Structure 1
Amino acid sequence: MQAIEVFDTNPSLIALGRLEPLSSFEPRPKLSVGLPGDMPVLTCPVAAVDADCFGMKNADVNFGFGTIQLRAGLVQSIRVQVHDVQIYWLADMADPEVWAAIDKWRQAKHAPVQFDVRGEPGEHGHSVFLKAGVPRGSYKNEQFRDMPAPPAESIWKGMVALADSGMLQQQAETDLEGIPLRRVFVNVLLTERFKPCVDESKLVEMPMHVKPVFRKGIIY
Structure 2
Amino acid sequence: MNDFAVSDMNPSFIGIGRLELLQSFESRPNQAIGLPGDMPVLMCPVAASDADCFAMKEGRGNFGFGTIQLRQGLVQSIRVQVNDVQIYWLADMTDPEVWAAIDKWRKAKEALVQFNVRGQPGEPGHSVFLKPGVPQGTYRNEQFRNGPAPSAQHIWDGMATLAQTGILEQQAESDIEGVPLRRVFVNLLLTERFKPCVDVNEMVEKPVHVQPVFGQGIVY
Task: Indicate the TM-score class for this superposition, using the shorter chain for normalisation.
Answer: over 0.9
Look up the match of 1:117: 117
- Cα distance, 1:26 vs structure 2: 2.0
Look up the match of 2:107: 107
Distance 2:124 2:15 in 1: 19
Look up the match of 1:3: 3
Unpaired segments of 5 or more residues in structure 1?
none
Unpaired segments of 5 or more residues in structure 2?
216-220
Look up the match of 2:155: 155
Contact in 2 for aligned 1:49/1:209 (Cα 8 Å): no
Distance 1:67 1:4 in 2: 26
Task: Summarize the alignment of residues 13-52 of structure 1 with structure 2, pairs less than 5 Å apart.
Answer: 13-52=13-52
- Cα distance, 1:11 vs structure 2: 2.2
Query: Aligned with 2:111: secondary structure?
Result: strand
Query: Aligned with 2:131: secondary structure?
Result: strand
Encode CA deviations 1:83-117: one digit per residue, 9 max, x unaligned: 00000000000000000000000000001000000
Indicate yes or no: 2:96 matched with 1:68: no
* AA matched with 1:208: P
Look up the match of 2:218: none
Query: Aligned with 1:110: secondary structure?
Result: coil
Q: 1:215 to 1:33 in 2, by over 3 A?
A: closer
* AA matched with 1:152: A
Query: Aligned with 2:143: secondary structure?
Result: helix
- Cα distance, 1:25 vs structure 2: 1.5
Look up the match of 2:201: 201
Contact in 1 for aligned 2:90/2:187 (Cα 8 Å): yes
Task: Summarize the alignment of residues 163-178 of structure 1 with structure 2, pairs less than 5 Å apart.
Answer: 163-178=163-178
Encode CA deviations 1:172-213: one digit per residue, 9 max, x unaligned: 000000000000000000000000000122112x13141423
Aligned residues: 215
Contact in 1 for aligned 2:89/2:187 (Cα 8 Å): yes
Aligned-residue CA RMSD in angstroms?
1.1
Identity of aligned residues (%): 69
Output the TM-score relative to the length of structure 2.
0.95
Contact in 1 for aligned 2:19/2:41 (Cα 8 Å): yes
Distance 2:121 2:210 in 1: 20
Output the TM-score relative to the length of structure 1.
0.95
